[in-house]
Structure formats: structure tokens, C-alpha cells
Amino acid sequence: MSILESFDDGRIELADFDPSAQRPGDLVTVAETGPVKLYSRAQVREAITDGVVLAADEAHVSKATDRFAWAVTAVMTLLDRPSAPWAEVKNRHHAPTGDIVAADDDEPQYTRDQVSQAVNNGIDLAAAKERCTVAEDLDNLIVNAALTLIDDPAADFYTVATKCYSESPRVIRSWL
């Protein structure tokens, strides 16, 4: 069922969606394709940070390495400015106050596509500029973990593995 309303001599169609599929506090907006869930900067920061922890734990490496710190900074920078140059990522990384917490940090404002683009591009940019390489299996696990965790904050490695890969968790661990 859709509802048509008149507005400024035009027709606006409000698309239906299943509100029971949403969690408390989710903000949904309507795009051409239908309802779109929005995420806050804080949710993205938590998902990428938790994705790093999950990946580092599975690879048995320290989550405190520069590799991960640069990746998180790049993701958060590109979330706000998708075309930001590496110099801007470096400035944010070396800022004395750490990651910038904005007044609208908890305000849902990013679509899943924007989050995915920032996570993928941030991981790739950090690998290219900081480590002079392309993203590796561990980097790809971070991407998949973060994008799974943004939708399901309680997800674990098994959930990420079964949702994102066509291999068993054991095989994925062997890549790390």
C-alpha cells in the first residue's frame, strides 16, 4: 500500500517498509528505491573499531599497530569527505586530540552505501599510502567485519565468515 499526497502541485509517494525489521533508534529516510536506513558517525566508528579488533584477534596480531590506526583514521576521514587527500588523513591521524568528535556524532546521516564506500576506500588508501601495498586478506576481513557489524553489532567472527565468504571460518583463519 502506498499513500499519495499532494505537495506543491506534485505527487509524493511514501513507500511502505516493515518497521518491525528496524531496531529501536534506527532512523530511516526514503530514497528513490525505497526506505534507507541511516547510520551515525558514532555507529561507523564503533563498527570499524570493532571490525579491527575482531580481525586482529583472529589473526593473533596486536590491534594497537599503526596498520589498524591508519585504517580507522582513513575510514573516518573519508566518511566525512569521500574525496579527501591523504594529507588530510595524516593531519587527522596526527591531531593531538585524536579522532574528531563532532556535535552531530550521534545523528544518523550516512547511508549504507556511503559507509561501505568509506570503509572500502579508507582501508585501500591506508594500505597504499602507509604500507605501500594493496589491501590484503586481513584488510578485507576488516572491511567485511565492519560492514557486518554496522548492521549487526553483536556479530562475531563466525557470523562474518558465514555471511561474507564462501569458505569455512577455519579456511579464512588460514589466510590471515
> Can you tell me the distance from the alpha carbon of 108 to that of 29, in angstroms, rounded to the nearest whole number?
10
Q: Are residues 171 and 161 in the same domain?
A: yes
Provide the pLDDT for residue 146: 98
DSSP letter assigned to residue 63: T
For 98-119, give one letter per residue: b (16+ CB within 10 A) or e: ebeeeeeeeebebeeebbeebb
| pTM metric for this prediction | 0.78
pLDDT at 10: 43
pLDDT recorded at residue 57: 96
Q: Which letter, b or e, does each residue of 139-174 get, where b requires 16 or more Cβ atoms within 10 Å of its Cβ? A: bbbbbbbbbbbbeeeebebebbbeebeeeebeebee
Residue 16 has pLDDT above 70, yes or no: no
Q: What percent of the chain has pLDDT over 90?
A: 66
Please check whether residues 32 and 66 belong to one and the same domain. Answer: no
Reported confidence tier of residue 159, pLDDT bands at 50, 70, 90: very high
Same domain, 79 and 160: yes
Average pLDDT, the chain: 85
Domain of residue 3 covers: 1-38
65-93 confidence digits (pLDDT tens):
899 999 999 999 999 999 999 999 999 99
> Which pLDDT band holds residue 157 (cuts at 50, 70, 90)?
very high
Structural domains in the chain (count): 2
Q: Do 99 and 15 fall within a single domain? A: no
Pair (59, 135) in one structural domain: yes
